[in-house]
Amino acid sequence: MSQIEQTDRPHRLSVVVPLYNEEDSVAPLVTQMHEALADYRNPWELVLVNDGSADGTEQAVREARAQWGEHVRLIDLQRNFGQTAAMQAGIDAARGDVIATLDGDLQNDPLDIPRMVKRLLEENLDLVAGWRQNRKDTLMRKIPSRLANRLIGRITQVELHDYGCSLKVFRANIIKNVRLYGEMHRFIPAWMAASTSARRIKEEPVRHHARQFGESKYGIGRTFRVILDLLVVYFFMRFRSRPGHFFGRIGLIFGGLGGLGLAYLAFIKVILGESIGTRPLLLISVLLILMAVQFLTTGVLSEMMARTYYESSQTRSYVVREELNGGPKDADWKQPD
């Protein structure tokens, strides 16, 4: 273990693993984790989240906790809420300054965690994402994943080779400001880019192993959900604090097109003296004007809702990374000479 790179910067590490029907993987996973972190120089904990498994996953985690100690923690969810919700539950329960996440199917390698933590802390990053360069999956999973990675990177402007790799290392104070819903675990780098600079998000090549037990919980069918979630990510990244700009832009485009259509019809009617009552363009132009009014009023209402949200809650439209000498202390003020 001495050959594994580690950082000397003091911290506490929380490793979060969501589990769903992974009964056979629990024991080898916990064993591999302890082997990988046997000589780790800083305190660490393992947070195992049972996402309403229908098999013996919960009992397997309890047995692992009895064998290895109380630093192996169990978060048992009431029912199956999905990987994103399970990951969020683990992140909420994590107590470390640095949080690592990985899948519970033994395809991610815990040996990569110390190297990724070292890079996170020594390069002053907020996220180091795993990149499965030699991915051990079928073509039916590789091809949609590669297409999704390119699409996500182009839309979110956070260029990563592998959005789908669950092996990631975060600064806890940043990731805890990000709330995950739906299938949003795939978009964590994009969500974080809304709270930190994209320059603080890097990727690291990691090992990837073939699945040893059970079957994959994900297939080609989730592609449509990913596309819908991508639209939501785009909206919140660009227009969360100014939704009126999003709806207003669409309204102005429709209004402009409708106005041009009506102006053309007015020219034909007044100048050329032709009948316009039966022209399809008249109906289309009127519909465009009505849609423009709807989008513009939606934009105004969304702006009011956004302002109400920010002013009535503790949520801010910004994230402070560090504040030196913070607090309204008298000693912090420059006194007159």
Instruction: List phi, psi (to 5°) of 168.
Output: -140, 155
Helix H, strand E, coil C: the string for 304-320 is: HHHHHHHHHCCCCCCCC
Q: How do 98-101 and 13-19 pair as beta strands?
A: parallel
- Would you tell me how many other CB atoms lie within 10 Å of the CB of residue 213? 13
Residues in the chain: 337
pLDDT in tens, 14-31: 999 999 999 999 999 999
Contact 169, 189 (CB under 8 A): no
Nearest to residue 217, comparing CAs of 55, 61, 63?
Answer: 55
Look at residue 217 and tell me whether its pLDDT is greater than 60: no
pLDDT in tens, 149-174: 677 767 666 778 787 788 999 999 88
Going through the chain in order, the beta strands assigned E by DSSP cover 13-19, 44-50, 72-76, 98-101, 127-132, 168-171, 201-206
Tokens representing 243 are 């939704």
Nearest to residue 166, comparing CAs of 214, 205, 130?
Answer: 130
Q: What does the alpha-carbon distance between residue 103 and residue 109 come to, in Å, rounded to a whole number?
A: 9
Q: What does the alpha-carbon distance between residue 104 and residue 22 come to, in Å, rounded to a whole number?
A: 7
pLDDT in tens, 234-255: 777 777 777 888 889 999 999 9
Asked which of 68-72, 112-116, 190-194 is least confident by mean pLDDT, the reply is 190-194
Q: Compute the half-sphere exposure of residue 21: CA atoms within 13 Å on the CB side of its CA.
A: 11
pTM comes to 0.71
Using left for φ > 0, alpha for ψ between -120 and 50, and beta otherwise, residue 6 falls in beta
Q: What does the alpha-carbon distance between residue 53 and residue 83 come to, in Å, rounded to a whole number?
A: 12
**Per-residue pLDDT averaged across 32-60, rounded?**
93
Q: What is the model's pLDDT at position 233?
A: 72
Q: What does the alpha-carbon distance between residue 143 and residue 13 come to, in Å, rounded to a whole number?
A: 34
Q: What is the DSSP string of 152-172?
A: HHHHHS---S-TT---EEEEH
Contact 211, 132 (CB under 8 A): no
The residue behind tokens 């994209």 is 198
Residue with more model confidence, 186 or 305: 305
